[in-house]
């Protein structure tokens, strides 16, 4: 069960609206809640991405617009690229150091492997910097 601020930053209605805005109609084939344990659902995507964001941030900050947007962006990225992401994760976990697709080559290691898109990392990096600056200013005043 989804609880905003506990295991998600956004509701199913918010991600549905965002997917409509992004013209991602296949999202609506997913049930809201899992039909059985481990099954894919909108809820499972939201919880999984929330957990990724919390690990990336090193904790679960209070709900705000930056975190809500970060979750929306990461859900759509993960939903649209899940097969590739899971393949990369399997490769990294089994010790594969590089992979090739035609002329394209990617070096894989745990240091540079992340599920969070670069645009969201930047968004969160700005958020972390802004939050740390505010804390520093409050301490110094």
Identify the pLDDT of residue 16.
97
User: Residue 12 — very low, low, confident or very high, per pLDDT cuts 50/70/90?
Assistant: very high
What was the pLDDT predicted at 134?
A: 41
Q: First-to-last CA distance in the chain?
A: 42
**pTM of the model as a whole:** 0.76
What pLDDT does 70 receive?
95
Average pLDDT, stretch 115-123? 83
Task: Give residue limits of the domains in the chain.
Answer: 12-140
Mean pLDDT across 91-116: 67
Instruction: Note the pLDDT of residue 141.
Output: 36
The SS3 of residue 141 is: coil
Check if the beta carbon of residue 73 is closer than 8 Å to that of residue 123.
Answer: yes
135 has pLDDT over 90: no
Which pLDDT belongs to residue 4?
Answer: 96
Give dist(CA 21, CA 15) in Å, integer.
10
Q: What is the pLDDT of residues 18-74, one digit of tens each?
A: 999 999 999 999 999 999 888 889 999 999 999 989 888 888 888 999 999 999 999
Confidence of residue 103 (pLDDT cuts 50, 70, 90): low
**Tally of CB atoms within 10 A around 11:** 14
108/5 Cα distance (integer angstroms)? 33
- Yes or no: say if 70 and 53 are a contact pair by the CB < 8 Å rule: yes
Tell me the average pLDDT across 1-10.
95
User: How many C-beta atoms surround the C-beta of residue 53 within 10 A?
Assistant: 21
CA–CA separation, 71 and 50 (whole Å): 7
């Amino acid at each position: 069960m989804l609880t905003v601020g506990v295991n998600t930053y956004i509701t199913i209605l918010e991600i549905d609206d965002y997917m409509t805005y992004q013209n991602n109609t296949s999202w609506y084939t997913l049930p809201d809640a899992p039909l059985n344990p481990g099954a894919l659902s909108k809820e499972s995507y939201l919880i999984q991405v929330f957990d990724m964001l919390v690990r990336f941030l090193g904790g679960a900050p209070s709900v705000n617009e930056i975190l809500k947007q970060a979750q929306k962006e990461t859900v759509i990225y993960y939903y649209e690229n899940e097969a590739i992401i899971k393949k990369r994760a399997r490769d990294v976990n089994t010790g594969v150091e590089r992979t090739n697709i035609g002329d394209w080559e990617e070096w894989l290691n745990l240091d540079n492997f992340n599920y969070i898109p670069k645009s969201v990392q930047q968004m969160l990096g700005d958020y972390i910097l802004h939050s740390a600056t505010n804390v520093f200013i409050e301490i110094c005043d």
